[in-house]
Structure formats: structure tokens, C-alpha cells
Chain A
Amino acid sequence: MLKTTRLHSLFVLDQDQALEFYVGKLGLEVHTDQDLGFMRWLTINVPGDPGREILLEKPGPPSMDDGTAETARELVTKGATAGWIGFSTDDARTTYDELLAKGVEMTQEPTEQSYGIDFGLRDPFGNAVRILQPA
């Protein structure tokens, strides 16, 4: 029986810039930052939830060839990858205001939905992020 989602990957184009955004602005924390030689294993998590890691993965060799990595980078910058992530919050409107003040690029203001209040933003690379205050 499966229990929870534990780890998933998000393509980023620059891992340091990703840290500035996801940790410095969104307030997540670094779980693991380790040079494995063949790659930098960089994961983050929501504070208090270390059991669910997000791998900030830079597309490139040896995981994929240069041409494929270029395609992946192109898709990210067009907002066309599956790299889409959702977080929850207790107060969507306050969180929106806080992130806006930090210069985060918003795609949608807090909006009443059947499932709660949510809003959207993009990371520096083009990945979409949704933040939901559940109903």
C-alpha cells in the first residue's frame, strides 16, 4: 500500500537561482544540497514537512544529451513542462501580498474557487506554481 508522495522533480535552469526563489522568496527550506559528482542533488521541502522533497533538477548530461537538455530548457521557458507544483496555505490573500512585495511574478490574483481560494505565480524559469487555501 502506498502512503504519501515523497519526492518529485522540477526542472530548473539554474540551481542557485532556484534556491534564491524557492527558499529566499517562497520560504521553503533546503533538505539536501550535495555534490554527487555527476550532479548536484538539491532538494527542498516545506518547513515542517521534510518527508516530501522537491528535487530542483537541472536538465543536462549525463541524464540527458545536450540536444534533449536544450529541448527541456525550451519547454520550461515556454511554461510547457509538467513542472507544475501546488502548495497550500492558511491564508491565500496574505501570502499573495507577502510574495508580491518580494517581487514574485504573479499570474493570477487570489480567486474564489469551488475548492478554496487560490492564486498562481511563476518561478524565474517559467514553471507554474499554485497556492491554495483549501475550502
Chain B
Amino acid sequence: MSRAAEESNRRMLRARDAMDRGYAQPLNVASLARIAHTSEAHFIRTFKATFAETPHRYLQRRRVERAMFLLRQTDRSVTEISLDVGFFSLGTFSRTFREIVGESPSDFRRSGKPVAVPTCFAMSWSRPGSNFGEARRAGAA
């Protein structure tokens, strides 16, 4: 791996960190591309090459991971949580959550207990896998 590729990785990681911080904000590719010092088109391509998923898919997983945390750690309603993590409609949130996690937000809340580990570990390890939706798409094909 060239030093230029390492620098590219590091810039993509910086942009991904920004997505982790601003997960409730709409995906702003222009802003992320600026953080990564690339063009918008190059940013999406390079991000996918680096982390094996698009920025949009990463953001969806990050939001759902936060929702999973809030469902089990707080008493906030499902509607409030959907807004907290950046969804504008409860329907979209519920559909996305079910697609990724395999059950509804309410069922997920009922089915488990909170975990007590440092937040960055919870963030990394409770984030659902990146292959969500693939079985559904394969079935539809």
C-alpha cells in the first residue's frame, strides 16, 4: 500500500468520523468530500473502496445502531427516537429498521436488555451488518 493510499484511508476515516458525529443530519456529500479533500464523485467511490459500502449505507447503519441503543436505554417513544436519529417519517424509520434488524423497533425494545460498555464499543459492535437488504433484493431478482 502506498503512502498516498494510507493518506486517502485516513481522510476517508476523518469523513466517516464526521458522519458518526452528525448522524442525525441529512447526508451532505459535499461537506464530507470537503473534509476528505476530494470531489463529490470521487468521495463516494473512494469511500466505498475503503469501507466496502457507500456513505449512504454507512449512515443508515449508524442511525439504526443509535436507534437500537436509544430503544433499550431510554423511555423515549419510537416516534421520538426516529426523529432523534435523523429520520423524517416514522414509516421510513420502521421500514428501514425492520429491513436492517429483522424486527420492528417495538419488538426489538421488548426483546433485550441495555448493555453497559463504553459508548464507542457499543457503537462499533452493535452496529448492524452492512449486508442488510441483500437477501430481500436477491429474493426479488
Q: What residues make up the interface of A, taking CB atoms closer than 8 Å to B?
A: 13, 70-71, 73-74, 77-79, 84, 86, 105, 107-109, 111, 113-115, 118, 120, 122, 125-126, 128, 130, 132
* Interface CB pairs A-B, < 8 A, 30: A73-B1, A73-B6, A74-B1, A74-B9, A77-B7, A77-B9, A77-B13, A78-B9, A78-B12, A79-B17, A86-B118, A105-B14, A105-B17, A107-B20, A108-B21, A108-B119, A113-B119, A114-B73, A115-B116, A115-B118, A120-B120, A122-B13, A122-B14, A122-B17, A125-B10, A126-B9, A126-B13, A128-B120, A130-B120, A132-B118
User: How many A-B pairs with Cβ below 8 Å?
Assistant: 55
| Interface residue total, chain B, C-beta cutoff 8 A | 20
- Interface residue ranges, B against A (CB under 8 Å): 1, 5-7, 9-10, 12-14, 16-17, 20-21, 50-51, 73, 116, 118-120
Within the complex, the shortest CB–CB distance from A26 to chain B, in Å, comes to 17
Give the shortest distance, in Å, between B20 (CB) and chain A (any CB). Answer: 7
Q: Which residues of A contact B13 (CB under 8 A)?
A: 77-79, 122, 126
* CB nearest to B5 among chain A residues: A74
Q: Is there contact, CB below 8 Å, between B17 and A74?
A: no
A112 to chain B, nearest CB (A): 10
Contacts of B50 in A (CB 8 A): 78
